[in-house]
């Protein structure tokens, strides 16, 4: 099914966004090529989905709230909903999803979820603005999942960080966290290989960095990625795939030990009645 494609530009940043999922389909900076990959369902059926109201997968694709059981697929339903364009002007492009009977049957909260695109300093900024339209508290997680275009083998690329760090990689087994971590030491550069992703994504919680860049070996920078307040980050690809994902998360998947009670789920945000919360990340080529 074809959905409306919205065009927006500011300065040297030009984007195309699908109303379906408010999903980015193209991001060009200056006269450069599209930073995002071109979808090929042989590898993955998404380009840059927006994740809400959960990040990752629930045990059995279910949770319990107020003594009732609810079903929800991995990464939530927003990526499969049609958003409404609220504004499209020189400052920003804002798309909105508001609760309805269908969403309420799987997520018992009255919400408003805005995805806002803006640009500054060679970066496209993505803001998630979550509003609780109820008087009672609301629980949610949110995140991004952009897939960036690469050519040839993954071994031709590396991630560069501003400084060296040591952090725990949270290991995934069967779509859930195993409870096991693996210490990784990164001396400013992480050379990418398919073997790094045999255990699924590389996930850091409370990552000790707010900026990472993707480079080709030999010195060409593909992009900068900036997020100052993420709760977790995932680096992910598939063997032989022409994309590499840098995923900013405010929340994460269940572990095998989780109870299934939404109020007990780690990584969830609690938003007071009538309150609004914003989360932000950006990518492009910094000036």
Confidence of residue 281 (pLDDT cuts 50, 70, 90): very high
Give the CA distances from residue 40 to residues 45, 46, 200, 243, 268, in Å, rounded to whole numbers and listed in that order: 7, 8, 20, 10, 32
Segment (H or E) for 85? strand 84-88
Question: Which domains does the chain show, CATH number per domain?
Answer: 5-284 (2.70.98.10)
User: What is the per-residue pLDDT across 125-184, written as a single tens digit (0 to 9) for each?
Assistant: 999 999 999 999 999 999 999 999 999 999 999 999 999 999 999 999 888 999 999 999
Q: Cβ(48)–Cβ(71) under 8 Å?
A: no
Instruction: Select the more confidently predicted residue: 121 or 272.
Output: 272
Distance CA 282, CA 224 (A): 8
pLDDT given for residue 218 in this prediction: 86
Question: What's the whole-model pTM score?
Answer: 0.97
Eight-state DSSP code of residue 262: G
Q: What is the mean pLDDT of residues 74-95?
A: 98
pLDDT of residue 2: 75
Which element (helix H / strand E) includes 101? helix 101-106
The stretches of the chain forming alpha helices (DSSP H) are: 101-106
């Amino acid at each position: 099914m074809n959905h409306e494609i919205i065009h927006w530009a500011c300065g040297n940043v030009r984007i195309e966004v699908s109303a379906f999922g408010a999903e980015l389909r193209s991001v060009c900076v200056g006269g450069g090529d599209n930073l995002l990959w071109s979808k090929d369902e042989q590898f993955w059926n998404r380009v840059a989905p927006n994740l809400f109201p959960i990040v990752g997968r629930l045990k059995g694709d279910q949770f319990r709230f107020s003594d009732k059981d609810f079903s929800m697929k991995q990464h939530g339903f927003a990526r499969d909903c049609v958003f409404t364009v609220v504004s499209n002007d020189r400052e920003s492009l804002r798309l909105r999803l508001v609760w309805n009977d269908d969403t309420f049957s799987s997520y018992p909260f009255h919400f408003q979820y805005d995805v806002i695109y803006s640009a500054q300093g060679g970066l496209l900024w993505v803001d998630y603005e979550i509003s609780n339209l109820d008087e009672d508290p609301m629980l949610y997680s949110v995140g991004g999942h952009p897939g960036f275009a690469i050519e040839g083998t993954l071994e031709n690329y590396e991630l560069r960080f501003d400084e060296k760090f040591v952090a725990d990689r949270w290991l995934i087994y069967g779509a859930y966290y195993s409870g096991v971590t693996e210490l990784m030491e990164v001396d400013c550069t992480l050379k990418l290989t398919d073997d790094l992703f045999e255990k699924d994504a590389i996930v850091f919680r409370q990552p000790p960095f707010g900026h990472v860049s993707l480079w080709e070996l030999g010195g060409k920078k593909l992009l900068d990625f900036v997020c100052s307040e993420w709760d977790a980050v995932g680096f992910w690809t598939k063997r032989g795939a022409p994309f590499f994902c840098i995923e900013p998360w405010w929340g994460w998947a269940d572990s095998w030990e989780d109870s299934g009670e939404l109020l007990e789920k780690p990584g969830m945000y609690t938003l007071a009645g009538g309150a609004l919360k914003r989360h932000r990340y950006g990518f492009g080529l910094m000036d």
